[in-house]
Every structure is written in structure tokens, then in C-alpha cells.
């Protein structure tokens, strides 16, 4: 195997047994979390393979893709969300306009992760919710990935290719919490998941399904992926009921929006 064949993007990796296993876990967590988040406007940044807003009931929902991201090959519907093409570090949305933002592995692939996070802080309303998913570098999956990079540097790629997507940089959970704290976010909850060893085959992953049942109790911080929910806090501001400018001007219209999929 050449080094080029060892390189794998996130979209392609999600079709592997490990990718499908991770998507199933993330979809369940998102469905349980966003269903009780109320408001008017919600946005998902990237990863169209994951329908992060399907359980949410806000009247206005978007999924944003950058110029390099294609829709899933199977054309899977993305709930009732409209599709938006834009730069994640310069969102075409008014400040303090959104009630919910979902970032599934968005920061890992961002050109400037901290700038993308600041942009999300700008467009979120006070008390708005932010949901972030990311790979945990301190896990069995992360360890295998590091060994794969080491073999690449030593010219031993043929021995074992990279296990996780090779594009992007995995952020430590603690580092992400520090960034959120600096931006006046308060972490409301978080957990880790996907504790099975980094097997390539579906059979190997299924054999260790019991590890998911025990992982939360015995080794909670070593899950392959983390799930974090944060709230935007504004000091000196107190919201009463729905006194949140229900009649406020709508979000600035994006340049290209189409229901469920791009216009032909």
C-alpha cells in the first residue's frame, strides 16, 4: 500500500464499519439532546452524513457546507433543513440570531478552529446552545492513529494504514473546554462514547459490543469520541420567558439556500 492509499477523508471513512458504528452513536446522542432545545433558528455546520437537527422542532433549520464538502452520495434527506454553502469562519448570518448550533467534527477540519468557534459565538443568542462532537486523541482509536502516523514517518505505511481520517487535527477535550470558557460559554454537559477497540472489520467491532456497556462506568474518558453541550452566557443579562425578540428581524438571507438538497 502506498502512502496515498493510506490517506482517507472523513466522508469516505464514515462508510467503513467503524464509521457507521460512530455515526449510529452520534445520531442517537444528538436526537436525545436537540429534541428539547427550543427556539426559532438552528444550524448544523458540516457533516451532511449526520442529520443532527432531525429531532429538533425549530421552524427554521439549516445545514451549512463549505465549498469542499459534497452531499452524501446516497442523497439522504437532511430532515427539513435547508442547505447553505458558506465559509464556516465567516457565516452570512446576523449576530445573536441562532438558538442552536451543532458542530459535528467541524473544528477538527476547520482551517482555523478557534476562529470558527468565535464565529459561532457571534451568531448565537445569549443562552443559545452549542453542541460539539469530536474524536478523542486519548483513546484506543487515537493511539492507533498516532502509531499510524509514526509508521508513515518511518516509511512503514504498508504495515498498517491510518485508522481514523487523516485530514484535520483532533482537539483534546480539556483544550476545547478552555476555549469555550474564554468565549464565555458554560459547559452544560458532556460525555464520551464508542469504547470498542479499533478493529477494521464489522465482525471485530461487534465482538466487543460489551465494552460500550461498561465504558461509561470503568473508563469513561477513553471513548473514541466526545459529545459536549455548552451554553452561551452573557454577564449582566437576564432573560425572562421568551422575551427574546420574537418579532426580531429575520436572519440575513444566505446567498444560496435550497430545501433538503442543492438546487439543480
User: What local confidence, expressed as pLDDT, does residue 166 receive?
Assistant: 81
> What CATH code is carried by the domain that includes residue 90?
3.40.50.150
For 162-186, give the DSSP string. -SS-SSS-PPPHHHHHHHHHHTTEE
Does the structure show a pLDDT above 50 at 70? yes
State the residue range of the domain holding 50.
3-259
What is the C-alpha to C-alpha distance for residues 163 and 141, in angstroms, rounded to an integer?
7
The 10 Å Cβ neighbour count of residue 98 is: 27
What is the C-alpha to C-alpha distance for residues 59 and 78, in angstroms, rounded to an integer?
14
What is the C-alpha to C-alpha distance for residues 162 and 177, in angstroms, rounded to an integer?
27
How far are the Cα atoms of 61, 96, 187 from residue 227, in angstroms, in the given order? 21, 24, 11
- In a domain, residue 22? The reply is yes
What is the C-alpha to C-alpha distance for residues 242 and 256, in angstroms, rounded to an integer?
30
What is the C-alpha to C-alpha distance for residues 249 and 190, in angstroms, rounded to an integer?
33
Q: Contact 235/184 with Cβ under 8 angstroms?
A: yes
Does the structure show a pLDDT above 50 at 262? no
Indicate the helix (H) or strand (E) that contains 4. helix 3-6
Q: Mean per-residue pLDDT for 72-94?
A: 79
What is the C-alpha to C-alpha distance for residues 135 and 146, in angstroms, rounded to an integer?
13
Nearest CA among 218, 239, 221, 126 for reference residue 177 = 221
- In a domain, residue 250? The reply is yes
User: What local confidence, expressed as pLDDT, does residue 81 receive?
Assistant: 77
- In a domain, residue 254? The reply is yes
Q: How many domains does the chain have?
A: 1
Does the structure show a pLDDT above 50 at 1? no
Q: Contact 201/112 with Cβ under 8 angstroms?
A: no
User: What local confidence, expressed as pLDDT, does residue 252 receive?
Assistant: 54
Question: 253 or 116: whose pLDDT is higher?
Answer: 116
Q: Per-residue pLDDT tens for 235-245? A: 765 555 544 44
Nearest CA among 162, 228, 238, 234 for reference residue 200 = 162
The 10 Å Cβ neighbour count of residue 220 is: 12
Q: Contact 165/137 with Cβ under 8 angstroms?
A: no
User: What local confidence, expressed as pLDDT, does residue 159 receive?
Assistant: 54
Q: Per-residue pLDDT tens for 8-65? A: 688 889 999 999 999 999 999 999 999 999 999 999 999 999 999 999 999 999 999 9
Q: Which residue has the cell 477497540?
A: 197
- Structure confidence at residue 69 as a pLDDT band (50, 70, 90): confident
Q: Per-residue pLDDT tens for 98-157? A: 999 999 999 998 889 999 999 999 999 999 999 999 999 999 999 999 888 777 777 765
- In a domain, residue 264? The reply is no
- In a domain, residue 130? The reply is yes
Q: Per-residue pLDDT tens for 147-187? A: 887 777 777 655 556 788 887 789 999 999 999 999 999 99
For 119-163, give the DSSP string. HHHHHEEEEEEEEEEEE-SSSHHHHHHHHHHHHHHTT-GGG---S
Q: Contact 161/1 with Cβ under 8 angstroms?
A: yes
Question: 92 or 151: whose pLDDT is higher?
Answer: 92
- In a domain, residue 174? The reply is yes
Amino acid at each position: 500500500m502506498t502512502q496515498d492509499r493510506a490517506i482517507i477523508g472523513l466522508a469516505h471513512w464514515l462508510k467503513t464499519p467503524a464509521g457507521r458504528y460512530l455515526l449510529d452513536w452520534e445520531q442517537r446522542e444528538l436526537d436525545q439532546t436537540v429534541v428539547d432545545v427550543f427556539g426559532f433558528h438552528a444550524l448544523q455546520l458540516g457533516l451532511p452524513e449526520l442529520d443532527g437537527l432531525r429531532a429538533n422542532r425549530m421552524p427554521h433549520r439549516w445545514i451549512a457546507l463549505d465549498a469542499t464538502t459534497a452531499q452524501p452520495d446516497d442523497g439522504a434527506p437532511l430532515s427539513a433543513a435547508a442547505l447553505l454553502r458558506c465559509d464556516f469562519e465567516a457565516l452570512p448570518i446576523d449576530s445573536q440570531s441562532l438558538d442552536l448550533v451543532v458542530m459535528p467534527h467541524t473544528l477538527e477540519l476547520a482551517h482555523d478552529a478557534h476562529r470558527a468557534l468565535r464565529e459561532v459565538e457571534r451568531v448565537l443568542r445569549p443562552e443559545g446552545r452549542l453542541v460539539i462532537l469530536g474524536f478523542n486523541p486519548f483513546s484506543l482509536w487515537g493511539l492507533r492513529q498516532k502509531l499510524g502516523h509514526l509508521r508513515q514517518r518511518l516509511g512503514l505505511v504498508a504495515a498498517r494504514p491510518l485508522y481514523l481520517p487523516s485530514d484535520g487535527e483532533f482537539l483534546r477535550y480539556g483544550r476545547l473546554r478552555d476555549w469555550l470558557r474564554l468565549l464565555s460559554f458554560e459547559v452544560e454537559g458532556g460525555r464520551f462514547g464508542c469504547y470498542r477497540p479499533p478493529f477494521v472489520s464489522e465482525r471485530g467491532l461487534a465482538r466487543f459490543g460489551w465494552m460500550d456497556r461498561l465504558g461509561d462506568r470503568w473508563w469513561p474518558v477513553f471513548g473514541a469520541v466526545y459529545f459536549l453541550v455548552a451554553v452561551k452566557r452573557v454577564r449582566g443579562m437576564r432573560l425572562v420567558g421568551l422575551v427574546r425578540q420574537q418579532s426580531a428581524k429575520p436572519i440575513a438571507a444566505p446567498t444560496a439556500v435550497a430545501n433538503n438538497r442543492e438546487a439543480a
